[in-house]
Amino acid sequence: MNEVEILRKLAASASREAVPPVEVSSRVFADLVRPNEDMSRPLVWVAAVSGALAAPMAALALLTLDAWGNPMVELMWFLDWMLL
Amino acid sequence: MVTGTRTLFSGSELESAHDGVSSTPRRLSDNGPSAMMNGGLTAHFPDDLRDVRDSLNGDGDAYTRLVERHQGRVTDRMWRFTRDRFQHRELVQEVFVQAFLSLPTYRGDAPFEHWIARISTRVGYRFWKKNERERPTYHVPIDELEGLATSEPEALDPASAAETLHNLLGLLPPRDRLVLVLRYVEDRSVEETAGLTGWTQTMVKVQAWRARAKLKKLLQNSGLEVDR
């Protein structure tokens, strides 16, 4: 026998093998929906990082404002001092 | 989910045809060129055309029908690429996911079955390439091959023969393996093989010749007598 005859003989016998049945229709749709979730994931991360950075910035801004007092009053005092 | 609105086919092409989907285990021999010759693969062509069109228009049920109609043959085909049941199911699923994503490129000038066979071949080949590192763990199944010359295919146990064939071809690189499967296991012509792989016919002939030479050398190196 040559190599092709070996392959063909094995293939002839293997063709009688019962292949395990597979049902994928529902899984295909689940898989097709997943890429959309993957696509939105970076946006979720951007939103999370933005939120995390925004919170301390807001706190810092409040602290600065509190330390500064009323910016309009401060400005008026400054102008008052400059003019007088 | 499906947003394509391209009109592919005229209404006259969409004649009804019977639906013969079976979920029972099928034999690999149902999937060969003989099935193609007797029209087995084209019997659902009008239904396929209608369901492709409806899928592109956003009808999810239409794609489910396509999957249910073709998953039997795809299941058979992908069983040649792995004998692991979990991987097998994953491969079948991947074929239909890839088919869905490529659906707008289906022109409808050939049966859907042929189109999905090309996708199956591509998915299977990629799977082999991805798992190429596992190749050296196989060995030539000498014990199984020694008695082959004197026994008829009917006398062999189908599952054992399929396992032996899988292990034997697993010794070869994916390109060689693919061309041997298509040309000599599935008994496809050079033209069909070229269509499924995307190679030229000359490339198929050269690749098949090289693959045969490699297989022969492997068998001879294992001490098996191989005729010219």
Per-residue pLDDT reduced to its tens digit, B165-187: 998 898 899 999 999 999 999 99
Give the separation between CA B47 and CA B69, rounded to whole angstroms.
10
Q: Given the cut 0.95, state whether the ipTM is greater than it.
A: no
B184 and chain A: CB distance < 8 Å anywhere? yes
Cβ–Cβ pairs < 8 A, chains A and B: 134
A41-A47-A50-A51 Cα dihedral, nearest 10 degrees: -130
B51 and chain A: CB distance < 8 Å anywhere? no
A29 and chain B: CB distance < 8 Å anywhere? yes
- Give percent of chain A above pLDDT 90: 23
Q: Which residues contact B97 (CB under 8 A, 6 or more apart)?
A: A28, A31, A32
pLDDT tens digits, B30-79:
444 434 333 444 557 788 899 999 999 988 889 999 999 999 999 999 99
Q: Provide the residue ranges of all domains of chain A, joining segments of one domain with +.
A: 40-84
Q: Which residue of A lies nearest to B2 if distances are taken between CA atoms?
A: A32
Give the separation between CA A59 and CA A53, rounded to whole angstroms.
10
Q: What is the mean pLDDT of chain B?
A: 79
Q: Do A25 and B68 touch (CB under 8 A)?
A: yes
Mean pLDDT of B150-159: 80
A74 and chain B: CB distance < 8 Å anywhere? no
Give the separation between CA A84 and CA A82, rounded to whole angstroms.
6
Q: Which residue of B lies nearest to A33 if distances are taken between CA atoms?
A: B1
Q: Do B92 and A4 touch (CB under 8 A)?
A: no
Mean pLDDT of A5-27: 90
pLDDT of residue A69: 65
Q: Do B93 and A31 touch (CB under 8 A)?
A: yes
A69 phi-psi bin (left φ>0, alpha ψ -120 to 50, beta other): left
Give the separation between CA A41 and CA A37, rounded to whole angstroms.
6
Most confident of the following: A34-38, B21-25, B31-35, B167-171: B167-171
Model pTM? 0.69
Instruction: Report, in angstroms and rounded to the nearest whole number, the Rg of chain B calculated over CA atoms.
Output: 19
